[in-house]
Amino acid sequence: MITAYKCQHCGHVMYPYHYRCVNCGAREFETFAPSDKAKLLTFTIIEQLPWGFDERGRVLGVIEFTNKVRAMALVDVDADTDEVKLGMKLSVHWEPVRDNYGEKVYGLVCRPA
Amino acid sequence: MKPVVIAGAGMIRFERRDEDSLVDMLAMAALKAMDDAGLGDHPVDAVVVGNMASGLFNHQVSIASALVDKLSLYPAAAERIENGPASGGSAIKHGYQAIASGMADVVLVVGGEKMREVIGPRATDVVAYMSQPEAEYIYGVSLPAMAGMFARLYMKKYGVTPEHLAQVAIKNHAHGLLNPYAHIQMKITLEGILTHPDSVVGNPVVADPLRLYDCCPVSDGAAAVLLTTPEIAQTLGKKPPITIAGIGQATDTHALHEREDPTDLKAVTIAAEKAFAMAQCTPGDVDVAELHDAFTILEIAESEHAGFFAKGEGAQALVAGETTLGGKLPINPSGGLKARGHPVGATGVAQAVELVWQLRGEADERQVANAQTGFMVNFGGFGNNVIALVLRRDS
């Protein structure tokens, strides 16, 4: 799972890591794991993917975890893309999201909760 | 700072150019700008090349040195400036700084990209290298996908419809038909790309809600401007010099999800404000604008963020014809990225070239009447590095 960062000076929550806080520039952070539940803030259904993907209808979205961490994620709806709605509740998992010359790359994968 | 003018401008047609190498394209555009300025044997102090990915697309680096060599401009200083899709705007800024600081008197700025050397999915992948590696790129995100996620939110928040997006494409393709340098020379209709049941065949979804005609084509091309001081421009003296009146630049978070409001293109707002402040004018003074419509939604969003229309009113202004040639504020008379094409590193320079032609009154059929002040936005990344320029013809 990803690691999120909470600024010890202003409380701002960040992902991914920055050497200085996005909000106040401070350098001390507390690390924590996002929850396993999130909602979908926006999404797209990609029909023409970059080189390296042999598929269509891949759903990517921006999610917000219940503990306020935000991230981009893959939304797995078994090709039923009509099911994807703004604001929908999601369960979040850590699973392979792409294959890099035979090596699995892990990322955030969401399914309708 | 010393004032800086554009004394010469030129470009080659954007299209698929299998016969020309990248450096050939840069050289062809450069010669046009040099001749346009009437440079003759006057020395060039520096050459600045805007280019995003020659190493990846063309297996060639140090292309600014290669260009100096092709043009036999030794011992001119030479650098390539890489700032993603804003490489062209950044190259102009660097040329400006060299002259304004007194370090150089004549700077040749050339933007170019040769993308069609690789197949489409490879080009999409190379362009996606600008996304956040661990938090975005790994998921297979493309720039159309970023724009798709942005568009979905923007459309919901401001009531922008697929028809509004189509109208941007229709307008810019109509403008592009008047521009011999535009890649796509084709009239499109609302029926053909949106309302007819068969339209989905010719205009398939790329990254929902964006379809093919919401996205710029993948192009090869180059454009160039020759920068100098007003005094030297006067001695060359063939064309009225165009003053670089304002330059603004701003950055934002790399990852789209880290923006408090992902529909807020803060870097566009700040870059535009800075450019207008430096030029001591306001959006109301602008006669013609070139905005970075890599995706139709971006023309609407940038027209609002740059201050031409209130948030949510850009689409209405478009539908009312205000941004069409002949309207109150023509946007993208060149056809924009949508029709002219988007050879990434060339775009910012091509926008400036179009403004120079408009401000001199040399834009032929697409001329904006009495244009005196021009404005452009060159949008890098997905809005995380934006350059805005104000150009002016001094009467």
- In a mutational test of the A interface, the residue from B115, B119, B155, B258 whose CB has the highest number of chain A CBs within 10 Å is B258
Do B124 and A62 make contact, defined as CB atoms within 8 angstroms? no
Do A22 and B206 make contact, defined as CB atoms within 8 angstroms? no
Number of domains in chain B: 1
Do B135 and A71 make contact, defined as CB atoms within 8 angstroms? yes
Q: CA-CA distance, A49 to B321, in Å (whole number)?
A: 35
The verdict on pTM exceeding 0.95 is yes
Question: What are the Cα distances from residue A111, in Å, to A38, A90, A91, B78?
Answer: 10, 5, 5, 52
Do B152 and A98 make contact, defined as CB atoms within 8 angstroms? no
- What's the pLDDT at A100? 87
Rounded to two decimals, the ipTM of the complex is 0.97
- What's the pLDDT at A79? 73
Whether residue B154 contacts residue B263, with contact meaning beta carbons closer than 8 Å, is answered with: yes
Q: For residue A101, is pLDDT > 90? A: no
By the CB < 8 Å criterion, does A83 face chain B? no
Do B140 and A46 make contact, defined as CB atoms within 8 angstroms? yes
Mean pLDDT per 10-residue run, chain B (395 residues)?
97 98 98 97 98 98 98 98 98 98 98 97 97 98 98 98 98 98 97 95 97 98 98 91 98 97 97 98 98 98 98 98 98 98 98 98 98 98 97 90
User: Does a structural domain hold residue B195?
Assistant: no
**Beta strand pairing status for B77-81 and B46-50?**
parallel
Exposure of B9 in the CB half-sphere (CA atoms within 13 A): 25
User: Does a structural domain hold residue B105?
Assistant: yes
- What's the pLDDT at B263? 97
Number of A to B CB contacts under 8 A, please give it: 109
Tokens of B248: 């603004």
User: Does a structural domain hold residue B297?
Assistant: no
By the CB < 8 Å criterion, does A58 face chain B? yes
User: Does a structural domain hold residue B366?
Assistant: no
Q: CA-CA distance, B300 to B19, in Å (whole number)?
A: 36
CATH number of the domain residue B112 falls in: 3.40.47.10
User: Does a structural domain hold residue B59?
Assistant: yes
Q: CA-CA distance, B172 to B154, in Å (whole number)?
A: 21
User: Does a structural domain hold residue B365?
Assistant: no
Could you count the other beta carbons within 10 Å of the beta carbon of residue B175? 24
Domain around B80: 5-119+218-236
Helices (H), ranges, B257-332:
266-279, 296-305, 314-319
User: Does a structural domain hold residue B308?
Assistant: no
In angstroms, what is the C-alpha Rg of chain B?
Answer: 19
**Beta strand pairing status for A70-75 and A58-65?**
antiparallel
Domains of chain A: 1-33 (no CATH), 34-112 (2.40.50)
- Select from B323, B335, B353, B337 the least CA-distant residue to B179: B335
Instruction: Report the residue from B145, B258, B262 with minimal CB separation from A44.
Output: B145
User: Does a structural domain hold residue B38?
Assistant: yes
Q: CA-CA distance, B274 to A41, in Å (whole number)?
A: 31
For residues A77-94, give the mean pLDDT: 93
- Select from B320, B334, B337 the least CA-distant residue to B378: B337
